[in-house]
Amino acid sequence: MRLLLKNMICLFGVYIQSVFDFSSAQIAGLRVGDIITSIDGKKVQSMDEINAFKKTKNIGDKIEIEIYRDGEKIKTTLTLISKP
């Protein structure tokens, strides 16, 4: 997905439409409206890419996520847990 933001930055990533309670995403601080731009340093542009990446990981693995929120790039670490 390509997004054009107010300050005319062209950004590629995956828009977060929902975050489930008690999920890895919520625990890591991800919010609705965030845009995931990379996972473990690799740029992502689709949920297919994210799902393929998740298949290579195990519960308990830590993943570095870079997001774009309110005009800022933010890095956070997400620990994979089983589905709530």
Domains of the chain, with CATH numbers?
A: 2-79 (2.30.42.10)
Mean pLDDT, residues 18-32: 94
Confidence (pLDDT) at 75: 96
Q: 83 falls in which pLDDT band (50, 70, 90)?
A: confident
Mean pLDDT, residues 7-13: 65
Q: Read off the DSSP letter of residue 7.
A: T
The reported pTM is 0.83
Q: Are 1 and 36 in contact (CB under 8 A)?
A: no
* pLDDT per position as a tens digit, 54-76: 999 999 999 999 999 988 999 99
Alpha helix ranges (H) inside 1-84? 24-27, 47-55
Q: What are phi and psi of 53, to 5 degrees?
A: -65, -45
- The CA–CA distances, whole Å, from 82 to 11, 57, 61 equal 30, 12, 11
